[in-house]
Structure 1
Amino acid sequence: MNILELSLLSLCTAQTLKIFTKYPFDITRILGSGGMPSSHSSFVSTLATLIGLKYGFTSDLFAVVSVFSLIIIYDAGGVRRAVGEQANLLNHLLKHLDPLQLKHGFDKELIKKDLKELVGHTPFEVLAGSLLGVSIALLYHSL
């Protein structure tokens, strides 16, 4: 298995685990974003670890992969999480907007469906995804 294939396996493993980390189990979580563990973090952690093991942890390639991995991990736990929190607030506000719609001529077409709230990760979900990714890389490397 090459580095990309193993990294994708890590991503798929994290997505599959999402089914079982919330009760009742929900098979649709396998395709969703957000949740436990972070598949983004798992994917890039596997990639970075395998690059480090193959080319050295002082190589330029490892440095490049690590920088982009940290950006992705930060985005998963920071920016995307904030977007989900904002969507939650907007959904709540829009549910209470109905009485005002008629008075102010609000365009009901703008709020046909709720905004997606589960797009980011908690710090624990990011950590769990990262640990899963590193574990998969180390397990493969040891075999």
Structure 2
Amino acid sequence: MSNIVKELTGNYILNCAVITWAIAQILKVFTYLLVTKELKLSRLLGSGGMPSSHTAFVASATIAVYRVEGIHSVAFAIMFVILMVIISDAVGVRRQAGEHARVLNIIMENWEQSKKKPIDKNLKELLGHTPFEVFGGFLLAIIMAFFY
């Protein structure tokens, strides 16, 4: 078991990705505080927001694979394809799902007021990312992959 732990902790690509993800999650707390003036520690594990931790995680792994294996490697090609899917999902599908949740929450609030029947659960609205948030995650990934 200790050999596996040693091998995992000695893996530059994995370490780069995990540390970049952790930094992105910590940054979400501070960017949320900066924008809303509210300290919300739940942002440490939340999706959505600035920077995109999904983008940062996969982009840093992709760049690390590039640095170790090279641009012509199969591993880099696979990571690049996965990165494109993650970015597309973040700014497309998940962002739209968040917008749908926002509209549904408004509808449910109006329903509660008109029917006098409380709905005790709101849908999570902060799911996807703006292109700027994805860019922030990508920029963090570049910094981490080249300076870690």
Bin the TM-score by the shorter chain.
0.7 to 0.9
1:50-61 superposed matches below 5 A: 50-61=64-75
Higher relative contact order (CA 8 A, sep 6+): 1
- Cα distance, 1:7–1:99 mapped onto 2, change above 3 Å: closer
Tell me how large the CA RMSD over aligned residues is. 1.6
- Cα distance, 1:53–1:99 mapped onto 2, change above 3 Å: closer
In structure 1, which of residues 71, 75, 80 is the aligned counterpart of residue 85 of structure 2?
71
Unaligned runs of 5+ in 1: 103-107
How many aligned residue pairs are there? 134
Q: Which amino acid aligns with 2:17?
A: S
Unaligned runs of 5+ in 2: 1-9
Q: Which amino acid aligns with 1:18?
A: K
Q: Which amino acid aligns with 2:136?
A: A
Q: Deviations over 1:73-113 (max 9, x none)?
A: 111121100000000000001111136547xxxxx68x430
Instruction: Tell me the equivalent position of 2:130.
Output: 122
Q: Indicate the percent of aligned positions where both proteins have the same amino acid.
A: 44
- Scaled by the length of structure 1, the TM-score of the pair is 0.87
> Secondary structure of the equivalent of 2:32?
coil
- Scaled by the length of structure 2, the TM-score of the pair is 0.84
Instruction: Tell me the equivalent position of 2:26.
Output: 16
Q: Deviations over 1:107-132 (max 9, x none)?
A: x68x4300000011110000000110
